[in-house]
Structure 1
Amino acid sequence: MRRLVLSGIGLAVLVAVLTAANLGREGGGYRLDWDLLQTPPREVELASPARAEIIETISAAGTVEPVEEAEIAPQVVGRVVEVFVEDGDRVAKGDLLVQLDPTAARASLDSVEARIERLRALIVDAEEDVEKAARDLSRTEQLARRNVATPTELLDARSTMAKVQAALDVARNDLLESEAMRRMSQQELDYTEIRAPIDGVVADCEVEVGEVAIAGTTNLPGAKLMTILDPDRMQVRADVDETDVPLVRPGQPARIYLQADLLTAIPGEVERVAPRGRLEAEVVTFETIIRDQGGPDSPLRPGMTATVEIEVRRAPDALSVPIQAVVQRRRKDLPDSPELLAWLDRHPPAPGEAIGELGARYVTTAFVAVDGKARARPVDVGLSDERRVEILAGLGPDDRVIVGPFRTLEELKDGDPITEADPETASETGTPP
């Protein structure tokens, strides 16, 4: 009951206000003008679609690394007797970095070389024995043909020839094996001198004199001695999302932004894209390499965090509007205009979409000013960048498009009364161009 009384009082007050307003009008009529309750026109900013270059980009996070990098690890086990470099030293390919104790390797090489000398002398003696046995066999065969030598003497001569020839063959095989062992021993001795495989700068030098260097790829101390990297050629290893990677191609221009300076763009270029994705935390990404094109003064350093923007598509002369002018509206909130019907023809429902859900479909929309009212225009859009979006259909260069303020665009409906804001006032609101 109390609620009904309050509602009646409110209605009486409203009628009284409207009556007083009408009494003050010229002519002093008592007719109520319900137009006084209408929403006042919204102040909006207007602009016509214009031609502009639009560059579409995709972004990805990554890490800076050198193009060429080599981990220095020993090829043989040995105690470190001297380290010739430290972190930050620049080295050339072939420079001596670390010396391992060569005593055991040199002794092994000396032993093999001594054996080779003995085998060579043995081969000389065996070759002489073979020559002598060959002469004896030839003479015995001649005597046997004249029945001077007995069959036993001929058999003994042939047996002697076979034995000395076998001894020569064994000596020669032993020499070949020993020469192979010498090459291995020489290589092991060479491995005690650890040299730079590339030109670059020393980093992560973890070796000290007296340590035992361990051959292999394990994580044991001594398995990795240092790293040599090329500081003049850098790249960014970025993870591109699976939704963006179909647009990425080698050779596309890119911009690199460092976490330490997000305002300065460093030129780059896509080098390669991984053929297989990688799943981490339920997100599939593709490893992409962006080569630094900033030249010798580039600020990129290994290990830095970077963000890359890759230019994937470009429209050099696109009819476009400010990006905030394009909004989304549900189908049920738009009038059945010819423009909407044409848009729906161009964008049929997805397979399996229920008829009852069609009213809830979102329609890409721009609002234009027509006779002091906002009119919704369904539009087709193309490329977009941070400021503008390409219009493929739905707007023409003579239309007056509502481009702001942003909050007004969020709430604007078809048919709302509007008035153009003063350009100076609009610029003070900070609406993006």
Structure 2
Amino acid sequence: MADQGSEDIARVIAGAKRRGGRGWLLALLLLGLGLSGWLWVGRSAETGGTVYVTEPVVRGDLTATVTATGTVQPTTEVEVSSELSGTLLSVDVDYNDEVTVGQVLARLDDTKLRAQVANAEAALAAARAQLAQAEATQREAEELYETQAELQKRGVVKHSDFVTYEANRDRARAAVEAAQASLTLAEANLALQRTDLEKTAIRSPIAGVVLNRDVSAGQIVAASLSAPTLFTLAEDLRRMQLLVDIDEADIGEIAVGNAARFTVDAYSGRSFPATITQIRYAPETTDDVVTYKGVLAVDNADLTLRPGMTATATIVVTEEKGVLQVSNAALRYAPPQMVESAGGGAGGLVGLIMPAPPGSGSSSAASGKTVWVLRDGTPVEVQVTPGATDGKYTVIAAGDLAEGDQVITDQRDAAK
């Protein structure tokens, strides 16, 4: 650059000699400015016009995580309804009550059903009596038939009379079968009426806690169109689950068995442990954002957590021990590219007199697969293979880096 400036100055002095007079003054002025610029450039080169901000390559443990939000829910939640319509005679449980399997939660008025059961019991008794009568008639018809059959063999009984005894026997057998069918029908009808009577007592299907009670004594329940929800029960609240929405960009990193911790607004500063137990395949789309439901098992032995609490979970997806790491800023760094002038760049006398300001130019795009290492005061580009990241540091799986190498994360003008 100094040689180019010297040639320009020589040309200016030669032209001034030809012009004479004031040309010498102009030549001396240009010579002074040129020397000043040349000295400025030399001094900048000696002192280093660019200061690089660096961070060392470190070796240590790295934990990569994924964040997701969701709600705490019971592992099993059951809505209890009534199969029958009627008036609620009593409600036997309230909010937060613990219940056992089969415990009565409420009772419907069963006056009508008790009458129907009594009627079915009477019909059953009548059917049994009819069967007994039919069986007696059958025995009588069978005996008469056998007697007449012996007499017919001897030729004592006319054939027409024997046919009558045979028909009576067959009718008696048919009457017994009909009576048996009537008895079966009566038994089934009684069982049905008794089942309906038992359903007037609305019982808990699980052991758990009453989360919600939507009815009161005296309220009319109409189950003709759809079964109304009377109670909402949750299974043992000491074992809960956290349902979180995982972004589609993160779903490939998460697997069943990953450990996690989560926080809820109710307990600031406290985190709770959890474990991924299921990742559902069905997508959920909200405002064009696709997520997948993750299920985390939660131990709630102290009953601190309550159903419906909003939680923010941090799921551990990778844990690596003793690995090389660089700052993420180093992977984003790229040195600026100088923009050349239309007249051939910053060379020449004008460039010497008016050098371009430090840092002018456009920055090249960082690929994320290279870092710049400061070696002997000179930036050197190094190809690397990045691995897992925790958002601040990234594991270097391969590359010509060693612990303690100074990677460049930024640069600035020395005068600043």
**Offset at 1:417?**
7.8
CA distance, structure 2, for counterparts of residue 87 and residue 297 of structure 1: 19
Q: Which moved more, 1:196-205 or 1:127-136?
A: 196-205
CA distance, structure 1, for counterparts of residue 163 and residue 335 of structure 2: 112
CA distance, structure 1, for counterparts of residue 336 and residue 170 of structure 2: 104
**Offset at 1:114?**
0.8
- Native 8 Å contact 1:254 1:309 kept in 2: yes
2:332 alignment partner, SS class: strand
CA distance, structure 1, for counterparts of residue 82 and residue 55 of structure 2: 71
Amino acid at match of 2:71: T
CA distance, structure 2, for counterparts of residue 216 and residue 401 of structure 1: 77
CA distance, structure 1, for counterparts of residue 163 and residue 286 of structure 2: 81
Instruction: Confirm or deny that 1:117 pairs with 2:125.
Output: yes
Matched ranges for 1:151-300 at <5 A: 151-215=159-223, 218=226, 223-229=228-234, 230-261=236-267, 263-293=269-299, 295-297=300-302, 299-300=304-305
1:325 matched residue in structure 2 = 330
1:393 matched residue in structure 2 = 398
- Native 8 Å contact 1:113 1:182 kept in 2: yes
CA distance, structure 2, for counterparts of residue 291 and residue 104 of structure 1: 47
1:42 matched residue in structure 2 = 51
**Offset at 1:332?**
7.8
- How many pairs are equivalent? 359
CA distance, structure 1, for counterparts of residue 97 and residue 35 of structure 2: 89
CA distance, structure 2, for counterparts of residue 157 and residue 113 of structure 1: 36
1:138 matched residue in structure 2 = 146
**Offset at 1:245?**
2.1
CA distance, structure 2, for counterparts of residue 215 and residue 161 of structure 1: 51
**Offset at 1:73?**
0.6
**Offset at 1:133?**
0.5
Matched ranges for 1:327-406 at <5 A: 327=332, 329=334, 362-402=367-407
Task: Please point out which of 67, 78, 85 is paired with 1:77.
Answer: 85
**Offset at 1:237?**
1.3
Task: Determine what percentage of the aligned residue pairs are the same residue.
Answer: 27
- Native 8 Å contact 1:216 1:223 kept in 2: no
Quickly say closer, same or farther: Cα 1:72–1:331, change in 2 above 3 A: farther
**Offset at 1:176?**
1.1
Quickly say closer, same or farther: Cα 1:138–1:254, change in 2 above 3 A: same
Quickly say closer, same or farther: Cα 1:128–1:399, change in 2 above 3 A: same
- Native 8 Å contact 1:323 1:387 kept in 2: yes
- Native 8 Å contact 2:52 2:408 kept in 1: no
Matched ranges for 1:17-96 at <5 A: 19=36, 32-36=39-43, 40-42=49-51, 44-50=53-59, 52-96=60-104
TM-score by length of 1: 0.75
Structure 1 unmatched runs, 5+: 1-11, 23-30, 334-358, 419-433
Q: Which moved more, 1:143-152 or 1:278-287?
A: 278-287
Amino acid at match of 1:150: K
TM-score by length of 2: 0.77
Amino acid at match of 1:35: G
CA distance, structure 1, for counterparts of residue 333 and residue 52 of structure 2: 21
2:397 alignment partner, SS class: strand
**Offset at 1:398?**
4.1
2:213 alignment partner, SS class: coil
Quickly say closer, same or farther: Cα 1:18–1:102, change in 2 above 3 A: farther
Q: Which moved more, 1:192-201 or 1:366-375?
A: 366-375
- Native 8 Å contact 1:372 1:417 kept in 2: no
Structure 2 unmatched runs, 5+: 1-28, 339-363
2:10 matched residue in structure 1 = none
Quickly say closer, same or farther: Cα 1:162–1:57, change in 2 above 3 A: same
What is the CA RMSD across the aligned residues, in angstroms? Answer: 3.1
- Native 8 Å contact 1:374 1:417 kept in 2: no
Q: Which moved more, 1:256-265 or 1:118-127?
A: 256-265
**Offset at 1:126?**
0.9
CA distance, structure 2, for counterparts of residue 372 and residue 361 of structure 1: 21
1:383 alignment partner, SS class: strand
